[in-house]
Structure 1
Amino acid sequence: MKNFILIIALVLLLISCGSNKSFISKSLDKHLATSFYENQFTGVLVVDAASKDTLYNRSAQKYFIPASNTKIFTLFAALKTLPNQIPALQYIEQNDTLYFQGTGDPSFLHPYVKDSTAFNFLKSKSNVVFTTDNFMDTKYGPGWAWDDYQWYYSPERNALPLYGNVVMIKKNPELMVSPSYFKDSVLLISTTENRKETSNIFFYPPQKQDTLETPFITSIATTKAVLEQVLNKNISTRASMPTGVKKTLYGIQADSLYIRMMHESDNFIAEQLLILATSELKDTLNSSFARNHILENELSDLKQEPRWVDGSGLSRYNLFTPQNMVHVLSELYTLVPQERLFTIFPAGGVSGTLKNKFKGDDKPYVYAKSGSLSNNYCLSGYLLTKSGKTLIFSFMNNHFKKATRDERTQLERMLQTLRDHY
C-alpha cells in the first residue's frame, strides 16, 4: 500500500512538473512572439539547477554580443586560477635591494578597493627597483571604441596599476586630485573632453561639483613618477628581474575584487583579473593566455566555442551563446557554495547594477549579471522560484532600437512567470 501511494505521488509530481513546464513554455513563446521582439534577436535558455532539465530554449545555440555578461567567464577564470588572497607583487631581495614586478593586481591604492598591502611593503624598503618586461599585452582590448579613452569605464591595462589607472578630480571646496602627481595637469576649463587624447592633460569644468573620474595614459615613466611621489623615495627601473627565486606578496581578499567587478560591472577590475590569472600560469602577463587556458582546460566541453577577446565585455568582438552562459553558471553553482556565490552576484532590488531592477516581493529572487552596450541587453544568472527551486538562466537581446529600460520591463515579466509557476 505504501509503495502504491508513493507511485501515485510520483506520478502526480511528474504530471505537475510537466504541466508547469508546458505553461512556462507557452507563456514565454507568447511573450516573445509579440511585436516588441519582431525587430531584434533574442536567445533564451532556462535550466533547473538540480535536475538539469531544460525548461525553455529559444535560439540558445546561437551567438550573441554578451556585453558585460562576459564578466561571468572572467569570474570563472579567476576562481579557477587565483588564490583566496590576490598576488599583489612578485619580488626578489638581493643584498639591500628589492627588485619587484607587477602581477596585474588592480587594488594598489584603488580609489574604491583601497588596498595598501603593496604600498606598505614598498614603503618599508630602502632600495627599490621596478622591473618592467613582464607585461606582453596591449593597453586596450581588441575592438574597444577608440573614443572611450576619456571615460571612467575604460582605463588602460598594465602590469602595475596605480589608483585604478584613473585620476579622481573634485572640489571640496578646493580642487582635490588623486593621485596628486597629476594636480598640475588639471585645467579648469569647460569642454566636452575630460582629457587630451594623446597626453595626460585633464579638464575639469569650474562649475562642476561632483567627482570626475578620467583614465590616465600609462607608461613605465608615469608609473615610476607616481610611485616615487606617493612613496616619497627614488625608484630605479630595469627591464628584467635578476636571477633567483621570485617570492609573492599577497594582498586583498579575492572576493573583494569579484564583488566589485560583478556588482558595479567594473571593467578595469575584470580586465586586470585576467592578467592576474596569467601571473599564476606563466612568467609573462598576457590576458589571451588566460582565456585560452580556461577554454582549453576547464571549458573544453562547451557545445559552441565562444569568441572571447577581453575580460570586461567592452568589445563587440565577443560572441557567446546562451548555452555558453548557462554552462559556466552551472559550473560556478557547483564550484562555489550558494551563499558565497549569491553574494558575488548582484541581487535584484538590493545590490549593484540590479539595485533598482527585478525586485522581489520581500526578498531577492534574481541573482544575475547584466550586460549593456548600445542596442544590446543581456541578463544571465540564477532565479529562485516560489516553490523553492533554483533556475539557471540566460536571456540575450541584441540589435534592438528601443530603450533598454523597456527591454528590462519585458524581461522582468518573463522572470516573474518563471518565479511564480515553477
Structure 2
Amino acid sequence: MKNHPFWHIAIFCVLVFILPSCNSLRKLATSRDIDTYLKQSEIFRKEFTGFALYDPLSGKYLKTKNADLYFTPASNTKILTTFACLTSLPDSIPSFLAQRFADTIRLEPLGDPTFLHTDFPTQPVINKLKNKTIEIHLPESELTPFGPGWAWDDYQYSYQTERSWMPIYGNEVRIFNRDTLSVVPAFFKDYISLFVGEKPGSLVYRERKFNLFNIWMEHDTSSFERKIPFDYSHELLARLLSDTTNAGVSFSKTPLSSYNTLYNEALIPVLTLMMQRSDNFLAEQLLITAARYSGYNNLDAFRNHLLSEWHLSSPIQWVDGSGLSRYNLFTPKSLVEVLSQIYGQLSWNEIEMIFPTGGASGTLKNWYPGNPPYVFAKTGTLSNNHCLSGFIVTNSGRKLIFSFMNNNYLSPVSEVKREMQLVLEAIRNAY
C-alpha cells in the first residue's frame, strides 16, 4: 500500500499546498518580530520613533510606524536638496551669468559653492575671469548669513559656514601645517596667530565680527589642518577676488542686459561630496544655486514651488538646505516619497555613488556593514535626534526604500544606531 500511486499523488498535493503556506508563515513571523521589536525595544520605547519601509516595484508600504507624524530630520534634509538640484540644474553647476566687454566682464553670481573651493581643483571658470576688470551685480534682496533656526553661537565652526550670494573659497580659511604653514586664501596669512600648548577649549577661534584667527597646536612641529569660516562681506569678497584674478573688482546696481552662463564643476560629483560627508555649506549653496538658476531670489518661494511640483502626500515644513535648523519638520513617508522619485530618476550606480554606503563610505563607514553592502542612505544627526533614510538591498535582491527617524532621546546615539542596525539587518534577511 505504501507504494500505491495514490499515496504519491496525495503526498505531492499536500506538499504543494503546505510549502507556500510555510514560506508565507516564515515571512509573517519575521514581520511580526520586527513590529514587536520596534514597539518593545528599551531604546525605542524611550524616544519618538518613526519608520516607513516601501517597495517601489509594488508601490506598497511593507511596514510603518508613526510614518505620518512629524520629526526633526537634521541632515536628512539634504535628500530634498539633492532632488532639488537633480530636477533644477544641468549637468554642470552654473556659476555666473556673464556679460563680456573688451577689457571688462560683468557678473551676476548664482551662488556656486565650488567657486575657488579647495576641494575642487579644476575650476573651469576662474581662467575666464583673470586679468579682466570685474563688475558684480548682486540680487537686491538680502540673504542672511545664517538660516532660520540656526544656532547663532556656532559661527566659528566649519559645519555652519556663512551663506552668501557669491561664495568664494568655500567662505572659510584653511590652515595647513606640514613642513611649513600654508593658508588658503593666502590673504589671511597676516591675520592668523599660532599658539603652542594645550588648547583652551577650541582648536580655532575668532570673534563674531572680526577676521582675526587664533590657532592652537600641541608643539612647534605639529602637523595639522584647521578650517574656520570667515566673516563674509562684500568688501572682503572684492579683495579676495582681486587678489586671485589680478584685476580690479567693483559692484554695480545695474542688471546685465545680455549674458552667457559660465559653468563650473560637474553636478553629480559635487552632490556626492555633499552627501558623503554631509557638508552643510555645499547643501545650502547648492539650493541657492538651484533657486537662482530657476529664477528665484526668494528661497522660501523656491522651496514652496518645488513641494508643489513633487506632490507629497502630506505637507511638510522645509526651511533650509542643510538640515541645521530644527524648524524643519518631515514625516518618514515624505522622505520615502522623495527617495522614490530619486530612485526613478537616477541609475542604481549613481545612487550607490551619491549615498553613503554602510560599512564602506561617508557617514556610514563605521555602521551597517554587509558583504555585499546592503544600506545606501543619508544620516541626519542633531543633539537628541538621529535619522537615516535611503535604500536597502535585501538578500533576495529586492531594492527597498526606507526612512528611520528618531527624536527626543537621552541615550547615547551609538545605542540608537545599534537598535536601528538590528532592524535593518532583519529587513535585509526577511525580504
State the TM-score, normalized to the length of structure 2: 0.90
| 2:275 equivalent in structure 1 | 262
Cα distance, 1:334–1:12 mapped onto 2, change above 3 Å: farther
Cα displacement (A) at 1:324 = 0.5
Q: Is the 8 A contact 1:381 1:394 kept in 2?
A: yes
| 1:382 equivalent in structure 2 | 391
Residue in structure 1 matching 2:207, options 196, 201, 205: 196
Q: Is the 8 A contact 1:136 1:286 kept in 2?
A: no
Cα distance, 1:230–1:363 mapped onto 2, change above 3 Å: same
Matched, 1:216 2:230: yes
Matched, 1:289 2:301: yes
Deviations 1:6-43 (Å, cap 9, x if unpaired)?
xx989976874575245224333234312222221000
Q: Is the 8 A contact 1:322 1:394 kept in 2?
A: yes
Residue in structure 2 matching 1:63, options 60, 70, 84: 70
Cα distance, 1:234–1:65 mapped onto 2, change above 3 Å: same
Give the Cα separation in 2 of the matches to 1:14 and 1:316: 47
Q: Is the 8 A contact 1:383 1:392 kept in 2?
A: yes
| 2:240 equivalent in structure 1 | 226
Deviations 1:45-95 (Å, cap 9, x if unpaired)?
011121122221100000000000000111111101000011011111234
Deviations 1:272-320 (Å, cap 9, x if unpaired)?
11101112211x53332321111112x23x1221100000000011000
Q: Is the 8 A contact 1:99 1:241 kept in 2?
A: no
Deviations 1:101-149 (Å, cap 9, x if unpaired)?
21111001212233412211111x5222122235642211100001110
Deviations 1:383-421 (Å, cap 9, x if unpaired)?
000011111101000011111111111100000000011
Matched, 1:157 2:169: no
| 2:262 equivalent in structure 1 | 249
| 1:40 equivalent in structure 2 | 47
Give the Cα separation in 2 of the matches to 1:322 and 1:414: 16
| 1:416 equivalent in structure 2 | 425
Q: Is the 8 A contact 2:149 2:327 kept in 1?
A: yes
Matched, 1:176 2:176: no
Cα distance, 1:118–1:66 mapped onto 2, change above 3 Å: same
| 2:330 equivalent in structure 1 | 320
Alignment partner of 1:43: what SS?
strand
Please tell me the root mean square deviation across aligned C-alpha atoms, in Å. Answer: 2.1
Deviations 1:334-378 (Å, cap 9, x if unpaired)?
111111122111111111111111100x22100000100011110
Q: Is the 8 A contact 1:142 1:317 kept in 2?
A: yes
| 2:415 equivalent in structure 1 | 406
Q: Using the aligned pairs only, state the percent identity.
A: 38
The structure number with the bigger radius of gyration is 2
Cα distance, 1:135–1:265 mapped onto 2, change above 3 Å: farther
Give the Cα separation in 2 of the matches to 1:258 and 1:241: 30
Q: Is the 8 A contact 2:139 2:297 kept in 1?
A: no
Alignment partner of 1:377: what SS?
strand
Whichever residue aligns with residue 125 of structure 2, its letter is A
Q: Out of 261-270 and 198-207, give the one that drifted further.
A: 198-207
Whichever residue aligns with residue 388 of structure 1, its letter is G
Give the Cα separation in 2 of the matches to 1:392 and 1:18: 23
| 2:4 equivalent in structure 1 | none
Alignment partner of 1:38: what SS?
helix
Give the Cα separation in 2 of the matches to 1:201 and 1:287: 31
Cα distance, 1:67–1:205 mapped onto 2, change above 3 Å: same
Whichever residue aligns with residue 286 of structure 1, its letter is N
Residue in structure 1 matching 2:289, options 252, 276, 283: 276
Matched, 1:51 2:61: no
Whichever residue aligns with residue 23 of structure 1, its letter is T
Give the Cα separation in 1 of the matches to 2:45 and 2:269: 41
Cα displacement (A) at 1:206 = 4.2
Give the Cα separation in 2 of the matches to 1:258 and 1:18: 43
Whichever residue aligns with residue 198 of structure 1, its letter is K
Q: Is the 8 A contact 1:170 1:212 kept in 2?
A: yes
Whichever residue aligns with residue 323 of structure 2, its letter is G
Q: Out of 43-52 and 232-241, give the one that drifted further.
A: 232-241
Q: Is the 8 A contact 1:49 1:392 kept in 2?
A: yes
Give the Cα separation in 2 of the matches to 1:89 and 1:9: 67
Give the Cα separation in 1 of the matches to 2:307 and 2:230: 32
Alignment partner of 1:313: what SS?
coil
Alignment partner of 2:406: what SS?
strand
| 2:90 equivalent in structure 1 | 83
What is the total number of aligned residue pairs between the two structures?
410
| 1:351 equivalent in structure 2 | 361
Residue in structure 1 matching 2:314, options 289, 299, 304: 304
Alignment partner of 1:142: what SS?
coil
Give the Cα separation in 1 of the matches to 2:170 and 2:410: 33
Whichever residue aligns with residue 215 of structure 2, its letter is Y
Q: Out of 226-235 and 251-260, give the one that drifted further.
A: 226-235
Cα displacement (A) at 1:186 = 0.9
Q: Out of 30-39 and 156-165, give the one that drifted further.
A: 30-39
Q: Is the 8 A contact 1:136 1:285 kept in 2?
A: no
Q: Is the 8 A contact 1:369 1:381 kept in 2?
A: yes
Deviations 1:180-216 (Å, cap 9, x if unpaired)?
1111111224544521111111110143632111011
Cα distance, 1:359–1:267 mapped onto 2, change above 3 Å: same
Cα distance, 1:287–1:18 mapped onto 2, change above 3 Å: farther
